Chain A
Amino acid sequence: MEPGLYHILFLSTALFFIGVYGFLTRRNLITMLMSIELILNSVNLNFIAFNKYLWPNQMDGLFFTLFIIAIAAAEAAVAIAIIINLYRSHNSIDVENAEDLKY
């Protein structure tokens, strides 16, 4: 059977919720960052799929995807920098230890 739009949407939804689950349950900041990448990629998949199946003559979804990848790379760089700094000051990258910013 030829895979269609629904298969891809199912895959991206699964990816999205795996990401959300990982983000909410993991305590390691690097893992949480990876979960965010999963969420972003699930969105990318959606864009590509809708572009291919609904408006095959246009390129909007593709461009969006490229932009998201670029931004995700930048965001990862910033996030890693923050995590390194956090490690330097707290000696840990556990999210439980990084809760100084509160009331």
Chain B
Amino acid sequence: MPNVTAISLIPLLPLAGFLLLGLFGRKYFKNSSGLIGTVLLLASTVLALYTAYEYFFVYGKVAGVYEKFVALQLTWLEFSPGVSIDMGLIIDPISVMMLVVVTFISLMVHIYSLGYLKGEERFPTYYSYLGLFTFSMLGLVLASNIFQIYIFWELVGVSSFLLIGYYYDKPSAVAACKKAFIVTRFADLGFLIGILILSFSGGTLDFATLIERLTSPESNEFKAAAASTFLGASALTWGAALVFIGGAGKSAMFPLHIWLPDAMEGPTPVSALIHAATMVVAGVYLVARLFPIFSVAVPGVLEIIGWVGAVSAIVAAIIACTQTDIKRVLAYSTMSQIGFMMFALGVSNYGGEAGLGYTASMFHLFTHAMFKALLFLGAGAVIHYVHSNDMKDMGGLRKFLPITHITFLIACLAIAGVPPFAGFFSKEEILLAAYNNNMAIYWIALITSGITAFYMFRLYFNIFWSKPAPSPSERAGGEVHGEGGFAMMMPLVLLAVGTAAAGFIPFGEYVSSDGKPLHAHFDLSFSIAPVALGLIGIFTAFWLYKKQNDKPTKLATSLGGIYKTAYNKFYIDEIYLFITKKVLFNLIGRPAAWFDKNIVDGLMNLIGNITEKISEGIKKVQSGKVQQYAIYFLGGVIVLAVLFIYIWK
């Protein structure tokens, strides 16, 4: 059975780190805070690995099926007997897999930050935020009911807000963290309504019970939810679709992705954490968690998920080809890869061979976490060296950053889907799932994977080849330093090993939609098309960017409008600005402000003015003259006497 102490310690250790460093860090652990945070997370990682081992190899499999365990169930807020919000720990293949991913990537980020943010003024604050972020994500992963997942979902939002805005004296960072928070909050509104609809129609918040009730056509809850319709769709469809909106916001799906590129304003290790292991995969995880409801009860919503994922994947890939800020390229590649995970879920079915997309999505989540963390940390090392985010300031760095160069190359090969690196295996599974289910999405995915290879190698060649690098002494400011210490290089090497090896894990054996092992079989002939496209992409990038030349500029000019549109991110930010600033502000904001100023305030002012005028008139009565009071008193007594004697008798 699950070891409750070990499992509950996994999220609690980062929480302890957050509290300790947040409350006392600046006073007592000025220099040791990084080590404290890292050691706590190391313990967490060990416990997560232990839990994963125990689950997958000792107790998890019951009669050939990986079971769901609820390791701990606490009644947290009881409204009346039977109606309560609980706190629980769920243990099933995806939560255990996520535990490993989140703790491992977070540990790498913790170690890396020891070097990257060395000497930073708010070092303890940074580590306490990292602890909070890790805690929230682990809590989200382990949540056993839909309300608990919502609580941690918002905590993830808050901690990402804090981390993106870490450089709070930089106006762009402040704007970015606000944007991230507001956009995801806006999507979370959909999530909350979805939760209310689903839990109302299911009569419970608990995942297992909810799924059981809402997926069996015989249950009363299912019948009631399917029968009650609104605007032509059943309550169930609405609930699932709204929950997906929340997931799409957190996972930066088109068109709610606008916060993601801006989130690059945070420190680079934070971007690695947000993009690889936490935050953005939360949406994918949510859909996977409620997958039976999506697939069995409302397959229509799954179709939406598939298309949203596919569109996000290709749009982001096209934008990524034109950006020059290396972190933005990576941000759009994240969005594109999350799109892959999403549509893999969208083209999946529940159970058996047809559930390949589910396995593929989780597999891609796993491998993507490795190579995306590696890419971001590598980019961090480059930025650390060059002191700039822009490709123009880079080039020829392979001589000065040998370790970063090799590890970055491995990550690029992995994301481009070149065998035998991790990305190849997971992407093949996704493509196969799409091929079996939806040809249109398959073609989009195929083209996107070609573009992915192109823009990743554009990035690679621009950073490490292209023009010859100025020797360190010629660099601006004349600052000479090496690649970054052991703390920064060790995570890169570890992640590179993970990226190279993760693909060989027989993932389907452990994670599948119904818990039964899924034997993935590879068809070599199927792999030809994506790998060939990937290689074409790589060679195009090689041809264009190996040496500095005018080919890219010429190409950009010949593409004209298309290039410009993609460079400006398809003007989606501008559309948002137009809708919010022009349309919403003028149509709703201004009339509401006028109403507030004139009608609401006016009414209040009117009451106030009348009262003031009346009191102005009658306050003279209180003159301070004792004898006047006596006259009033006497007059009153006489009037009362007359009343009592002559009128009331």
Contact = CB atoms under 8 A, between A and B. Distances in A.
B620 A99 contact: no
A96 to B, nearest CB: 8
A101 to B, nearest CB: 5
B630 A99 contact: no
A32 B625 CA distance: 13
B631 A24 contact: yes
Interface size class of A (residues with CB under 8 A): 10 to 19
A33 to B, nearest CB: 12
Contacts of A23: 627, 630
A100 interface: yes
B614 to A, nearest CB: 14
B630 A102 contact: no
B623 interface: yes
User: In which size bucket is the chain B interface?
Assistant: 10 to 19
B619 interface: yes
A81 to B, nearest CB: 17
Interface in A66-103: 95-96, 98-103
A23 B633 CA distance: 12
B627 A103 contact: no
Contact of B624 (A24, A32, A102): A102
A20 interface: yes
A65 to B, nearest CB: 22
B626 A95 contact: yes
> Chain B CB within 10 Å — which of A24, A32, A96 has the most?
A24
Highest count of chain A CB atoms <10 Å: which of B619, B620, B623, B626: B626
A98 B626 CA distance: 8
Nearest to A100: B624
A102 B622 CA distance: 6
Contacts, number: 29
Contacts of B625: 95-96, 99, 102
B240 to A, nearest CB: 67
Secondary structure of the B contact surface, majority rule: helix
Contacts of B620: 103
Contact of A95 (B622, B623, B627, B631): B627
A101 B622 CA distance: 9
B634 interface: yes
A38 to B, nearest CB: 14
A66 to B, nearest CB: 26
Nearest to B625: A99
Interface in A36-66: none
Interface in B607-626: 619-620, 622-626
Nearest to A23: B630
A102 B629 CA distance: 11
B624 A99 contact: yes
18 contacts: A24-B630, A24-B631, A32-B626, A95-B626, A98-B624, A98-B626, A99-B624, A99-B626, A100-B624, A101-B624, A102-B622, A102-B623, A102-B624, A102-B625, A103-B619, A103-B620, A103-B622, A103-B624
Pairs of residues from A and B, 7 with the lowest C-beta to C-beta distance, nearest first: A102-B624, A99-B624, A103-B619, A103-B622, A101-B624, A99-B625, A102-B623
Interface of B: 619-620, 622-627, 630-631, 634
Interface of A: 20, 23-24, 32, 95-96, 98-103
Given A23-B630, A102-B623, 10 more contacts: A20-B634, A24-B627, A24-B631, A24-B634, A95-B625, A96-B625, A98-B624, A99-B623, A102-B624, A103-B619
